[in-house]
Chain A
């Protein structure tokens, strides 16, 4: 039954579709006015954010389309993260994409990813999930390859496309196997089958499904596309893709595991924990060896996927509630700090040398980057600390041998990550400015990017004020 309520439930998605078309059409008819297109896109992101926030404030919840589409606090919260990140991505992309001459197309791609991601977090049907993931992923290949002036962009896009297609096939294969075992793709039906001991086919389906998801969130050992894609991609694309679709993917994975296979917990907590620990070590150890800051951030995003997945290991016993909170809080904190860090690269350059002496030449920017780097390490009172704190708390509450191992790995990796994040801080604050070095040319002073950086830095620094409400929100989410 499609009622008025259904339209309300789909409001963020409908708004996104509307602006997607609008941005593209306005771009066709007013080819010169890039400012108008960008303003429209930014407005669109805010409108999606606003509609999701409105639904959240009104306490709207319900199931639609035969239970395949659900609106609850949990889903709405992630829609907020996606829309918020999109807003900053649009701000950061406005001037750059204007320079390419294809601004409307690029901004439309961002909106397609937004649409796929916000649909994704509401899906309760495995095939719907697959479609939404593809809706978010396919435009992202184009986003990565969008910078035609740089060859690495095309190379990154190509690598991303090929590995992404393989990942999608693996994911689909897993979904089909699960569907074959259960006879239904609805998570509520799947949970009937995934009880007791798993059949080999079901287990294979689960493993393939998790592998597919690991590809999508760039968790080790399926992370190898990440550095090339992020290095080649335009900065706004790398920044946006590393936070928004990933957060949505984590959210839906959480939903699949908690709603679709709660009884198979002993199996998947182990699987996820292994992937998590592997991602932390691989991400951090490779990040330590990078001299290019953008590549370093790419490996750091692998490590951070590991930290988020570490929360999944705690989805057992007394740790479930805190683990869900951890995924929520971590995703929000990571979106703020990682977007910010990428944007600083956009203004400063991506070789380690280009950061030298930034404190003396551009103190405000250096202070903002300090906040992002310290937050990525997990130093209080910045956002990243609260993310890690919640992951550790959840694992400690779950209190199994597995979760203690996960906590140990997480603490060890936090210390391990200090040198490379602090390498950037050292360059900025301790080294002298490099005169006349090849830093990829002086960057133009893009006010949209600058504004985003300072807003994001402030939000990261004041995260302590958001953490209480966020934790309360998770307590009221539909998953628990």
Chain B
């Protein structure tokens, strides 16, 4: 019950917000309050249940359409909990970071909260059709967030995002439907290890599902929609867009594709690992070439998603744990970087790396946090991303040595462009006289950035805080692979 309440609370909040008068300050406080509730509920779940999430009070199972065995089935497990928490957290951060949204604020928050319903729902679904429905609920809100509040390029960005991901998810739905018809049910629990399907059938079903999920991630040849969307969005949308949305795809891999269709996915695994490596290397190289700081962060974000693919493809406990953890840590660091890009862009009036320089002197806080975020992105030990990337590479190396080694090289590449970026933007001489007068990040901006930085350090030092929760979920995946 508490899961359902957490998932649908933002919808209630959205409706309440729409009823409020059009006054900025009360609206922002109300939105903060709405966004805080799911986070508090999630924290309550964490402290009350911890690593024993699979209890009746967190699961619900109603038959929805009996003849097809489609149900409203929700629950939390180790795989989803981290993302559930991250969704609640980043939505709150997005509300805090919404200082760059000035027009139609009420509607902005309402749409953001409807997107949150979809995202929370995906990470709690235990039924394929329900998973798909929640997956798609995020689509229109994201289209609107980019389309209404984005920059001048927003029209193309919004429709591109929509068409790509709608195509992907429709193909994925075809796979789900075929799976359900062949197996006679859509309950994930009964579908574990193939739901009785033979190897050939599993492969036929897995192919469209993987395609749809990889578009969402996006895995590199399928990433055509991404850059415009990331660059056009307002910063607070970026937080959600880069922090959570790609995880709908990767989570689908870890929660649906791999445990439910182990034999079907198996022939694709080397390619999946290769996709991961391509993401890492391609993301790093292209990020290096970006003149725009926001585009650089966007490609950096694509790159480190590759570690999730690699770890998921490994099929062993270390790699899967790394992948599940990387989903969370990636969200933390990319959200942090986007928030800081926003701070820098509003202060200096430019996002061009070549026009920036020497910000550390004038903006010690923002500059320092940017250094921390970049260090996290390159996988520096002591920060959370290091743990998850390291585990992904270890697991990946075990299963696919070549891909594992290449992925490790990718870390070096990412260090190159990130250090270059830091040297240009944060350090060095002050590039323009105008920058002498820029102010450091304000209280709201710090409120958005600091929690993320703190969590990056916290999970870097105590990764067990998350790993202990996710371990039972990962073990279930391992046993599903073995059982297939």
Contacts and interface: CB of A to CB of B under 8 A. Distances in A.
A472 interface: yes
Contacts of B104: 359-360
B67 interface: yes
A374 B143 CA distance: 12
A321 B104 CA distance: 47
Interface in A364-422: 370, 374, 379-381, 385, 389, 392-393, 396-397, 407, 411, 414-415, 418-419, 422
A153 to B, nearest CB: 35
B163 interface: yes
Nearest to B70: A468
A380 B158 CA distance: 19
A414 B140 contact: no
Interface string B56-68: 0000000111111
Given A468-B64, A471-B67, 7 more contacts: A379-B139, A380-B136, A381-B133, A385-B136, A392-B177, A415-B166, A426-B159
B170 A414 contact: yes
B154 A430 contact: yes
Nearest to B148: A429
A467 interface: yes
Interface residues of B, number: 33
Given A379-B140, A471-B65, A415 B170 contact: yes
Interface string A415-447: 100110010011001100000000000000000
B419 to A, nearest CB: 39
B20 interface: no
A411 B147 contact: no
The 9 closest A-B pairs by CB, nearest first: A380-B133, A430-B147, A380-B136, A471-B65, A396-B181, A468-B65, A381-B133, A429-B148, A468-B64
Nearest to A474: B67
6 contacts: A363-B107, A389-B177, A397-B181, A415-B163, A415-B167, A467-B65
A475 interface: yes
Contacts of A419: 159, 163
B137 interface: yes
Given A379-B140, A422-B162, A430-B154, A359 B66 contact: no
B166 A430 contact: no
A52 to B, nearest CB: 24
A380 B65 contact: no
B155 interface: yes
Given A379-B140, A411-B174, A426-B147, A393 B67 contact: no
Interface string A431-465: 00000000000000000000000000000000010
A321, A429, A464, A471 — which one has the most chain B CB atoms within 10 A of its CB?
Answer: A429
A325 B133 CA distance: 20
A430 B145 CA distance: 10
Interface string A168-191: 000000000000000000000000
A411 B148 CA distance: 28
A318 to B, nearest CB: 9
Contacts of B137: 380-381
A380 B140 contact: no
Interface residues of A, number: 34
Contact of A396 (B65, B107, B129, B178): B178
B218 to A, nearest CB: 18
A426 B166 CA distance: 16
Given A359-B148, A380-B136, A411-B174, A418 B68 contact: no
Interface string B138-153: 0110011001100000
A296 B136 CA distance: 25
B84 interface: no
Contact of B177 (A321, A393, A414): A393
Interface in A267-326: 321-322, 325
Contacts of B66: 468, 471-472
Contact of A393 (B68, B136, B147, B159): B68
B155 A379 contact: no
Nearest to A467: B65
Interface in A76-105: none
A422 B67 CA distance: 34
A380 B147 contact: no
Given A359-B148, A411-B174, A418 B162 contact: yes
Interface string A315-340: 00000011001000000000000000
Interface string B443-459: 00000000000000000
B140 A370 contact: yes
Contacts of B178: 396
A393 B182 CA distance: 11
A380 B173 CA distance: 11
Contact of A380 (B64, B67, B132, B154): B132
Interface string B216-244: 00000000000000000000000000000
Contacts of A396: 177-178, 181
Contacts of B167: 415
Contacts of B171: 411
Contacts of B174: 392, 407, 411
Nearest to A414: B170
A26 to B, nearest CB: 41
A429 B147 contact: yes
A415 B107 CA distance: 27
Nearest to A360: B104
Contacts of A393: 68, 177, 181
A468 B174 CA distance: 21
A67 B174 CA distance: 42
A446 B155 CA distance: 32
A461 to B, nearest CB: 11
B136 A430 contact: no
B63 to A, nearest CB: 8
Contacts of B143: 422, 425
Contacts of A363: 107
A322 B170 CA distance: 20
Contacts of B144: 429
Given A379-B136, A396-B181, A422-B162, A321 B67 contact: yes
Contacts of A321: 67
Contacts of B140: 370, 374, 379
A86 B137 CA distance: 31
Nearest to A366: B107
B376 to A, nearest CB: 35
Contacts of A411: 170-171, 174
Nearest to B182: A396
A392 B176 CA distance: 12
Interface string B71-107: 0000000000000000000000000000000001001
Contacts of B155: 426, 430
A321 B68 CA distance: 11
A359, A381, A464 — which one has the most chain B CB atoms within 10 A of its CB?
Answer: A381
Nearest to B129: A389
Contact of B67 (A425, A426, A430, A475): A475
B117 to A, nearest CB: 10
Nearest to A370: B140
B148 A422 contact: no
A380 B114 CA distance: 13
Contacts of A379: 136, 139-140, 166
Contacts of B147: 426, 429-430
Interface string B264-300: 0000000000000000000000000000000000000
B208 to A, nearest CB: 10
A472 B68 CA distance: 11
Interface in B115-137: 129, 132-133, 136-137
Contacts of B158: 426, 430
Nearest to B110: A367
A325 B67 CA distance: 11
A475 B65 CA distance: 11
B163 A418 contact: yes
A359 B64 CA distance: 34
Contact of B166 (A407, A418, A475): A418
